[in-house]
């Protein structure tokens, strides 16, 4: 579905179910250089097990129009405006990587108006290696290759994919490389410059689920621990031998963790 906003038209995948804004609604937010397709293993399941789903393409990503937003604060503003535009009554913000930072910041601002928060592949600070930033700024294919290599665990490097016939690393390179010029750099720069995660975590008042990869090189487990400690109502799922791209590397286990969050929201 398309939702018209000041930023331009925003595409949201509903997981193959009719969107009902009165249901608890999982708003799935992708990371740098991504789009809604990273949630392919989760959106349909959530949409057919008690939730409405809006897996969005952020502005200038995927099928959405507009310009890329250049800060985590700006992305949080966008998510809050999106919730209003879609008339979502019970929002559950679930983000991956950059999307997790934006969801965290938005949840902190929404307070009790946010029903649940899912943080996948996140850390208290998310600095970006200067070589990766430089490659992204020059719009080089190397940037997507860096992310694909660093972002996947060793199992994904050896091959195999829940989607038969698709190599995960090549899939990631293709996804990232189809964003417009400058978009990946804008995303990575926003992550690199954001320093507000710890302050935001202390303000979160809703049930929160952390989904982390044991082999994540981009947001290592130890870097997530300060955030976990700062959130009042946090549960943690760590996926063994899985890297930063856990929603693609381990879709079934990722889905189970997000369903646990949905069940906590429904119980509340």
Q: What is the pLDDT of residue 105?
A: 98
Q: What is the pLDDT of residues 123-155, one digit of tens each?
A: 999 999 999 999 999 999 999 998 888 887 767
98 pLDDT above the threshold of 90: yes
Q: What is the pLDDT of residue 166?
A: 56
The Cα-based distances of 83 to 12, 154, 249, 258 in angstroms read: 12, 37, 29, 19
227 pLDDT above the threshold of 90: yes
Q: What is the pLDDT of residue 169?
A: 76
pLDDT band at 210, cuts 50/70/90? Answer: very high
Domain extent for 259: 2-126+194-267
Q: What is the pLDDT of residue 161?
A: 56
- From the list 203, 210, 200, 201, the residue with the least C-alpha distance to 261 is 210
* Complete DSSP assignment for 23-80: SEEEEEE--TT--GGGGTTTHHHHHTTT-EEEEEPPTTSTT--S----SHHHHHHHHH
Which of 66-70, 174-178, 192-196, 235-239 is predicted with the least confidence, judged by mean pLDDT? Answer: 174-178
Q: What is the pLDDT of residue 158?
A: 63
Taking residues 106-118, report their average pLDDT: 97
- From the list 33, 26, 13, 12, the residue with the least C-alpha distance to 245 is 33
The Cα-based distances of 157 to 17, 92, 95, 144, 170 in angstroms read: 34, 32, 24, 15, 10
Domain membership of residue 158 (yes or no) is no
Pairing type for strands 8-13 and 2-5 reads antiparallel
Percent of the chain with pLDDT over 90: 82
Q: What is the pLDDT of residues 162-173, one digit of tens each?
A: 655 456 778 888
Number of domains in the chain: 1
Q: Tokens 């109502």: give the residue.
A: 233
Which of 74-78, 168-172, 180-184, 247-251 is predicted with the least confidence, judged by mean pLDDT? Answer: 168-172
Domain membership of residue 152 (yes or no) is no
Taking residues 205-225, report their average pLDDT: 95
Q: What is the pLDDT of residue 152?
A: 77
Distance, CA of 263 to CA of 24 (rounded, Å): 10
Q: What is the pLDDT of residue 163?
A: 55
User: Per this entry, what is the length of the chain?
Assistant: 268
Domain membership of residue 69 (yes or no) is yes
- From the list 217, 135, 224, the residue with the least C-alpha distance to 173 is 135
Q: What is the pLDDT of residue 148?
A: 87
Backbone φ and ψ of 191, nearest 5°: -65, -45
Round to the nearest angstrom and report the end-to-end CA distance of the chain.
29
15 pLDDT above the threshold of 90: yes
**Residue 46 sits in a domain of what CATH number?**
3.40.50.1820
Across all residues in the chain, what is the average pLDDT? 92
Q: Sheet of 8-13: strands edge to edge?
A: 2-5, 8-13, 52-56, 24-29, 90-96, 116-120, 208-213, 234-239
Taking residues 191-215, report their average pLDDT: 96
């Amino acid at each position: 579905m398309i939702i018209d906003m000041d930023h331009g038209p925003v595409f949201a995948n509903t997981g193959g179910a009719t969107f009902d804004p009165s249901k608890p609604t999982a708003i799935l937010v992708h990371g740098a250089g991504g789009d809604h397709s990273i949630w392919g293993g989760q959106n349909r399941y959530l949409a057919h097990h008690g939730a409405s789903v809006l897996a969005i393409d952020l502005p200038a990503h995927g099928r959405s129009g507009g310009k890329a937003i250049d800060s985590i604060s700006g992305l949080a503003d966008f998510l809050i405006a999106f919730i209003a535009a879609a008339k979502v009554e019970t929002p559950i913000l679930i983000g991956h990587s950059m999307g997790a930072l934006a969801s965290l910041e938005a949840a902190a601002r929404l307070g009790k108006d946010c029903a649940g928060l899912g943080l996948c592949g996140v850390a208290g600070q998310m600095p970006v290696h200067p070589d990766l930033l430089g490659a992204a700024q020059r719009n080089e294919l190397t940037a997507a290759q860096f992310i694909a290599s660093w972002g996947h665990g060793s199992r994904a490097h050896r091959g195999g994919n829940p989607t038969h016939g698709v190599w995960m690393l090549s899939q990631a390179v293709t996804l990232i490389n189809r964003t417009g010029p400058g978009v990946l750099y804008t995303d990575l720069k926003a992550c690199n410059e954001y320093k507000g995660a710890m302050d935001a975590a202390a303000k979160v008042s809703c049930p929160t689920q952390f989904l982390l990869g044991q082999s994540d090189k981009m947001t290592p487990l130890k870097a997530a621990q300060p955030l976990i400690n700062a959130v009042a109502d946090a549960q943690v799922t760590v996926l063994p031998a899985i890297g930063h791209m856990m929603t693609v590397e381990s879709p079934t286990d990722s889905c189970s963790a997000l369903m646990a969050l949905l069940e906590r929201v429904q119980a509340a």
